[in-house]
Chains A and B, each alone.
Chain A
């Protein structure tokens, strides 16, 4: 099973990477060695991601990372907290991921910060981002403040190690019986419809208003991509 870890830490060594590795390791243990783990350090792709915004396409190195994320059975996404939210690099990467690539995919979200006061960033920023991408985000999101690296739990709160274990169990549980996720039905079409060449970062994402009413299961021929309606059907669907 493919477990992909996206980490947006900038320093080396980075506490974000440290948290990412702990989560990956714990998830791998729950999967009893069945996890094939790939770590994507966004720092190494920073220029490629910026170039994608400028040119409208991903170069070979970034394409490989995007393919890994798209093909993953489970994803761990970890960001440092910058200015009360995920880092710009983290967001930029998910801006160039295809907007259907994470649909139905189990995702564990995590963040690091200098103070525990930012922990709700996970609930107020990361969870909505992945909800928009229609990922299945596990209930436990893991936040590690600096002080967490040297503390256990207390009467009111689980310590970092317990939170990691709980989140990893939830992710592994979702990865194990995973059914193939449904084919994207609307977003790809609407994204296509914007015609915005530089639109990797500002795709018009779908809400079903695409004027399409072609019949599924009646595709003429076998060569048409799944989301393209045979022309005569399309034309007929437009008649008033």
Chain B
């Protein structure tokens, strides 16, 4: 099982100091956070993609390429790559390029995006969100698997005799996760292809995500990729911790109360009761995270949102130290207990390459 962090890349004023980082500071902070993730023994760093202030990460493969050059082990991913408004041809090429530079330490998570105006800004219609996600991914899937593509669809210029370059590393396309907050259609899409499904599992009550993941697992089995228990599931989570839980709550409360995503609404305590947000001691974080398995089944990837709502870089790095030293080692050990042998590990470039070479010809 993999553990990591995902960043939205928001530029938010620190409510305790009134200070707002510059874009340059925030971008460099994201890189520092990614390097720290590797240093403390985490497996994955994933960046969001946004095309409007106050978010900085508009160009994920540029950032991930830079991080790749400065890390050895860290798996580089996205949360999410916009399959609706990006040209699938460019996604195919950008991520294949990144695969080569990062020696295969690359996967990506596709999402539709939740900012309405991005669709018209990129020449698309939000009402076509699902059809765009379906058609664009069908093309992306083909571009990574067929050297010469002839293709015609509804949303993009046809392609005749097109080869996306570079070809995927070792002929193995990056593993794809499909992220969705509310759409059963996307769970169905992930199941159809045998790809991963990621539920962001933050901001909303868990029951909401349980329904989507159950559907994905059932349909994964329906399409013959394995049993429902073998489907590849990823989850988000949101943490803040200090040695003493009261200190964690006292320190995090002003950030929670003013956060653009949930601030000025329910109390921190109500929000913790209703959603997977965990604020407290490392042991409380461990207990709450371990419960995810009871709701969602054994899963493959756990990403935490750590750097948002204006938390200063220093605090985030301290959080990552605690996460790496006190929380994740226990989670690894506990999640491994009673995990059925047939539940697969997270697909990586090496495992996909090995699976391909051991498959009988023509399979």
- Seen from chain A, the residues whose Cβ lies within 8 Å of a Cβ on chain B are 50-51, 53-57, 59-60, 189-190, 192-197, 204, 209-212, 220-221, 223-225, 227-232, 234-235, 238-240
Q: Is the CB of A54 within 8 A of B265?
A: yes
For B129, the closest partner residue in chain A by CB is A193
Interface: B274 (CB within 8 A): yes
B128: interface (CB < 8 Å): yes
In contact, B204 and A54 (Cβ under 8 angstroms): no
Chain A residues with CB under 8 Å of B185's CB are 189, 192, 228-229, 234
Nearest CB in chain A to that of B218: its residue: A223
5 pairs of A and B residues whose beta carbons are closest in the complex: A54-B265, A231-B192, A211-B131, A223-B218, A193-B129
A164 to B7, CA, bound (A): 57
B208 partner residues in chain A, CB cutoff 8 A: 57
- Are A223 and B222 in contact, CB atoms less than 8 angstroms apart? yes
* Stretch among B16-24, B46-54, B71-79, B109-117 lining the A interface: B109-117
Dominant SS among interface residues on chain B:
helix
- State the CA gap A195–B215 with chains docked (Å): 19
Q: Given A195-B114, A230-B188, A59–B266 Cβ distance below 8 Å?
A: yes
Q: Which residues of B contact A211 (CB under 8 A)?
A: 127-128, 130-131
Contact A192 B265 (CB under 8 A): no
Q: Are B274 and A231 in contact (CB under 8 A)?
A: no
* Chain A minimum-CB-distance residue to B185: A228
* Nearest CB of chain A from residue B152's CB, rounded to whole Å: 6
Chain A residue with minimal CB distance to B137? A235
Residues of B within 8 A of A227 (CB): 184
Please tell me if B108 contacts chain A, counting CB pairs below 8 Å: no
Contacts of B153 in A (CB 8 A): 238-240
* Interface pair A197/B127, CB less than 8 Å apart: no
Q: Answer yes or no: B154 CB below 8 A from chain A CBs.
A: yes
Residue contact A59 to B134, C-beta cutoff 8 Å: no
Scan B143-176; emit 1 where CB is below 8 A from any A CB, else 0: 0000000001110000000000000000000000
In the complex, the chain A residue whose C-beta lies closest to that of B126 is: A194
Q: Within the complex, what minimum Cβ distance (angstroms) separates A183 from chain B?
A: 14
A189-B204 in contact (CB<8A): no
Q: Are B189 and A194 closer than 8 Å at their CB atoms?
A: no
> Whole-angstrom distance between the alpha carbons of A224 and B212 in the complex?
11
With a cutoff of 8 Å between Cβ atoms, the chain A residues found around residue B270 in the complex are 51, 59
Contact call A240/B152, Cβ cutoff below 8 A: yes
Are A192 and B203 in touch, CB under 8 angstroms?
Answer: no
Q: Which residues of B contact A240 (CB under 8 A)?
A: 152-154
A196 CA to B112 CA in the complex, in Å? 10
Asked whether any CB of chain A lies closer than 8 Å to the CB of B242, the reply is no
Given known A-B contacts A211-B131, A238-B131, A197 and B265 have beta carbons under 8 A apart: no
* B189 & A231 in contact (Cβ 8 Å cutoff): yes
Cα separation A221 to B208 with both chains bound (whole Å): 22
A192 partner, pick from B113, B183, B215, B271, beta carbons under 8 A = B183
Q: Within the assembled complex, what's the spacing in Å between the Cα atoms of A64 and B135?
A: 39
B218: chain A residues at CB < 8 Å are 221, 223
What are 23 A-B contacts defined by CB distance under 8 Å? Answer: A54-B263, A55-B203, A55-B262, A55-B266, A57-B204, A59-B266, A60-B274, A189-B185, A192-B184, A192-B185, A193-B129, A193-B183, A194-B116, A211-B130, A221-B218, A223-B218, A224-B188, A228-B184, A228-B188, A232-B192, A235-B134, A238-B131, A240-B154
Is B181 interfacial (CB 8 A cutoff)? yes
B205 at the interface (CB under 8 A from A): yes
Interface residues in B181-237 by Cβ distance below 8 A to A read 181-185, 188-189, 191-192, 203-205, 208, 215, 218-219, 222
Bound state CA distance, A211 and B205, in angstroms? 30
Closest CB-CB distance, B121 to chain A, in whole Å? Answer: 15
Known: A56-B203, A235-B138, A240-B154. 9 other contacts (CB 8 A): A54-B266, A56-B204, A195-B183, A197-B203, A223-B219, A225-B215, A229-B185, A234-B185, A238-B154
Which of B138, B184, B264 has the most chain A CB atoms closer than 10 A to its own CB? B184
Candidate in A194, A195, A204 with the most chain B CB atoms within 10 angstroms: A195
- Whether B274 lies near A57 (C-beta < 8 A) is yes
Residue from the set B127, B183, B222, B271 with the largest chain A CB neighbour count within 10 Å: B127
In the bound assembly, the distance between CA atoms of A209 and B152 in angstroms comes to: 22
Cα(A136)–Cα(B203), bound, Å: 35
Q: Which residues of B contact A56 (CB under 8 A)?
A: 203-204
